[in-house]
Amino acid sequence: MCPCQPVCASDGDDALRREAILTVNTGSSSIKLSAYERSGMTLGNCLLKVNLSGLPNDMRFVAKTPEERLDRMPEALSSRVSHQKELVGALAKWAADALQDVDLRAIGHRVVHGGRDFDGPVLANKKILEHLRGLSSLAPSHQPANLDGVKGISRIWPEIPQTLSFDTAFHRTQPRVAQLYAIPRHLSEEGLLRFGFHGLSYDHIASQLEGLTEAGKRSRVIAAHLGSGASVCAMLNGKSIATSMGLTALDGVPMSTRAGSVDPGLLLHLMMDKGMSARDLSTMLYKESGLLGLSGISGDVRELLENSETAAMEALAVYTYRIAREIGSLATALHGVDTLVFTGGVGENSAPVRQDICAHLEWMGLQIDSSANDAGHREIQTPASKVQVLVIPANEEVVIARDALSVLEAR
């Protein structure tokens, strides 16, 4: 058992109390918390999910337990918006208080970039956090917020172990040929490599596939995590061997507001001939490109699907074409495809996007059942399809909680 002091202690019967792992996923505009029951070194049911989005000026709050749903912002949180790290702490404290007869034994955090030094979860300490802060320029939209979440929790519960789960860690199994850029070798040796992201999501997919695919027959998997950020990953026997993102989460397919892959010469042109600064380019590539830039309307797939303007339809056409082309590229890395998985907010919920992507992939013998796709079934290929096609909800939180348990066990 973890030697930390319990949280939410009461004078009640200790025998009736439960232990839990709290997970924290802090983004640039949202905070997500989940609490999972712990029994020894086994992860149990999800006790609570909290999502605070629209930070900092348009906050929307949703909390769910197995029994109820709360959509109104608690008064204890409505005034705690001076800094995100304070809000994380206040939200976590509210969640802990809402869980009656539950003791928090560890708190697990998502950290987007772990660089080449971390291939699995670790216990947070000052040295590690300082090192990770140095990687913020490689994930400016996520890393500072992730680390502020750790600091916010430390201020209210310094005695509780905090663990870090890295989006990059899942991809450390990739062969070196998949990690190297064709740049001067000394830069690669300094750590400028293709790392890949959304690893917690792909880790969850790999664990789910164990019960959804035929043993020994579905070892070559391509998963597409499509949300506001988007990437595609090739997995062989549950291990990442290639992915669309690289050193940063800016690479790969077009996203909501991120450009994805662009010709480096285009960036040189914008700097040398158009006078754009590095800061200007960063803003453009991270916040003004992707579906938003292509359409000039919105970065939200749902809004574009409802819009009949040519620019909206063209943006979606580029989006699905580029994703399908990336899947075709990764199929080469796998020497074929047995299973294609859609996950993430768009991947799970947008039947038209799945339909259009799969239409580009009919050459590989993939056939989608339109009725099953429109109905949101988990398995959406036809009986004649040579490729299994699955829709699996993303669940990064359960991976973070599982990681926290493994770190506690190793202490």
* Average pLDDT of the residues in 252-277: 98
* Average pLDDT of the residues in 196-212: 93
Query: Which residue out of 103, 148, 167, 403 is catalytically annotated?
Result: 167
pLDDT at 59: 82
pLDDT classification of 40: cutoffs 50, 70, 90: confident
* Average pLDDT of the residues in 87-108: 90
Binding annotation for Mg(2+): 25, 396
Contact 358, 350 (CB under 8 A): no
Q: Which one, of 179, 176, 88, 168, lies nearest residue 132 by Cα?
A: 168
Strand order in the sheet with 239-243: 239-243, 230-236, 220-226, 339-343, 388-391
**Tens of pLDDT along 219-251?**
999 999 999 999 999 999 999 999 999 999 999
CA dist 72 → 51, 97, 290 (Å):
12, 16, 33
**Bridge partner list, 166:** 111
pLDDT at 72: 87
* Average pLDDT of the residues in 250-276: 98
pLDDT classification of 15: cutoffs 50, 70, 90: low
| Percent with pLDDT over 90 in the chain | 81
Binding annotation: 25, 32, 110, 225-229, 300-302, 345-349, 396
pLDDT classification of 6: cutoffs 50, 70, 90: very low
List the structure tokens of 259: 């450009």
- Reply yes or no on whether the pLDDT at 166 is more than 80: yes
pLDDT at 1: 30
Binding annotation for ATP: 32, 225-229, 300-302, 345-349
* Average pLDDT of the residues in 314-340: 98
Does the predicted model carry a pTM greater than 0.75?
yes
- Reply yes or no on whether the pLDDT at 375 is more than 50: yes
Contact 18, 102 (CB under 8 A): yes
pLDDT classification of 356: cutoffs 50, 70, 90: very high
pLDDT at 57: 74
- Measure the CA–CA gap between 293 and 255, rounded to whole angstroms: 10
* Average pLDDT of the residues in 10-26: 76
- Measure the CA–CA gap between 384 and 381, rounded to whole angstroms: 8
The greatest distance separating any two alpha carbons of the chain, rounded to the nearest whole angstrom, comes to 72
pLDDT at 80: 56
Integer Rg of the chain from CA = 22
Q: Which one, of 136, 120, 135, 112, lies nearest residue 25 by Cα?
A: 112
Of 26-30, 246-250, 265-269, 345-349, where does mean pLDDT reach its minimum?
26-30
Phi, psi of 66, rounded to the nearest 5 degrees: -60, -20
Domain-by-domain residue ranges, the chain? 18-174+402-410, 216-393
Of 51-65, 238-252, 370-384, where does mean pLDDT reach its minimum?
51-65
> Is 216-393 the same fold as 18-174+402-410?
yes
pLDDT at 9: 40
Q: Is 167 a catalytic residue?
A: yes
pLDDT classification of 10: cutoffs 50, 70, 90: very low
pLDDT at 214: 62
- Reply yes or no on whether the pLDDT at 61 is more than 80: yes
pLDDT classification of 12: cutoffs 50, 70, 90: very low
The secondary element (H helix, E strand) that includes residue 404 is helix 396-410
* Average pLDDT of the residues in 390-397: 96
pLDDT classification of 218: cutoffs 50, 70, 90: low
pLDDT at 86: 80
* Average pLDDT of the residues in 51-73: 87
pLDDT at 403: 98
Binding annotation for substrate: 110
- Measure the CA–CA gap between 263 and 284, rounded to whole angstroms: 14
Q: Which one, of 193, 263, 190, 252, lies nearest residue 226 by Cα?
A: 252
Contact 142, 198 (CB under 8 A): no
pLDDT at 187: 98
Query: Which carries the bigger pLDDT value, residue 186 or residue 97?
Result: 186
Amino acid identity, residue 195? F
Q: Which CATH architecture has domain 18-174+402-410?
A: 2-Layer Sandwich (3.30)
Q: Going by C-beta distance under 8 Å and a sequence separation of 6 or more, which residues neighbour residue 152?
A: 84, 85, 86, 87, 88, 89, 92
> In the 8-state DSSP scheme, what is residue 381?
B
* Average pLDDT of the residues in 42-48: 94
Q: Which CATH architecture has domain 216-393?
A: 2-Layer Sandwich (3.30)
**Bridge partner list, 389:** 340
* Average pLDDT of the residues in 140-159: 93
pLDDT at 5: 37
**Bridge partner list, 37:** 20
Characterize the bridge pairing of strands 122-123 and 162-166: antiparallel
Contact 231, 341 (CB under 8 A): no
> In the 8-state DSSP scheme, what is residue 6?
P
**Tens of pLDDT along 100-122?**
889 999 999 999 999 999 999 99
- Reply yes or no on whether the pLDDT at 3 is more than 50: no
* Average pLDDT of the residues in 307-323: 99
pLDDT at 163: 99
